[in-house]
Amino acid sequence: DAKTTQPPSMDCAEGRAANLPCNHSTISGNEYVYWYRQIHSQGPQYIIHGLKNNETNEMASLIITEDRKSSTLILPHATLRDTAVYYCIVRVAFMNRDDKIIFGKGTRLHILP
Amino acid sequence: DSGVTQTPKHLITATGQRVTLRCSPRSGDLSVYWYQQSLDQGLQFLIQYYNGEERAKGNILERFSAQQFPDLHSELNLSSLELGDSALYFCASSVSPYRDTQYFGPGTRLTVL
């Protein structure tokens, strides 16, 4: 079972900010939140990750709530090329034998012209 | 281009056969991950290697095996193939266990007839 819950699909108008939510209520103190996206059947692409502070890079911003039970990925100015499935996962940084990486079904984001 | 290469791009084979998928990680990356993505299962983590040693194991069938060689490339061996093994197989690499952002390859599409 996925450790995260995401809406199955979302629409966003081109040029607007896309805000993608993710619930991870059972996250452990040493688990990071990672976001990836997959365009068509290409290999997933890393977007951003964080532990408890908000993070920003050239692609997106990641807002993590203070209790770390949820987060939001923000694409500030969505373009048609941002149409993809977005995956939110939680995982430890250094995996041990019993650790797993669980990708849920993600959110299918449609950018509308 | 993530810098991770996978060969072959496409593979068509028959049930009962054995195939080998190959992955070359990004230059400098020591860790390799394998994933399976089928239509009804989403992205499933199979196994992780770090510097030649198996690190973490996910939902990998006993018919499947993998290894990472001294030059850090990895191979995923699939044997006694079944129709249900038809899927996209992705390899990902990361620098080290402490900088574990994964970069995915373009995938190998396996079709079992």
Bridge-based pairing of strands B108-112 and B10-13 is parallel
Does the distance separating the beta carbons of A87 and B43 come in below 8 Å?
A: yes
pLDDT tens, residue by residue, B12-56: 999 999 999 999 999 999 999 999 999 867 789 999 999 999 988
Of B96 and B37, the structure prediction assigns the larger pLDDT to: B37
Measure in Å the smallest separation between the Cα of A101 and chain B Cα atoms. 6
Facing B56 at nearest CB: one of A41, A44, A96: A96
Measure in Å the smallest separation between the Cα of A48 and chain B Cα atoms. 9
Give the count of Cβ contacts less than 8 A between chain A and B: 66
Cβ–Cβ < 8 Å for A2, A102? yes
pLDDT tens, residue by residue, A88-105: 998 877 777 767 788 888
Does the distance separating the beta carbons of A99 and B56 come in below 8 Å?
A: yes
3-state secondary structure of A12: strand
Does the distance separating the beta carbons of A43 and B98 come in below 8 Å?
A: no
The two three-digit tokens of residue B47, written as one number: 């196994």
Where residue B99 falls among pLDDT bands split at 50, 70, 90? low
Does the distance separating the beta carbons of A102 and B101 come in below 8 Å?
A: no
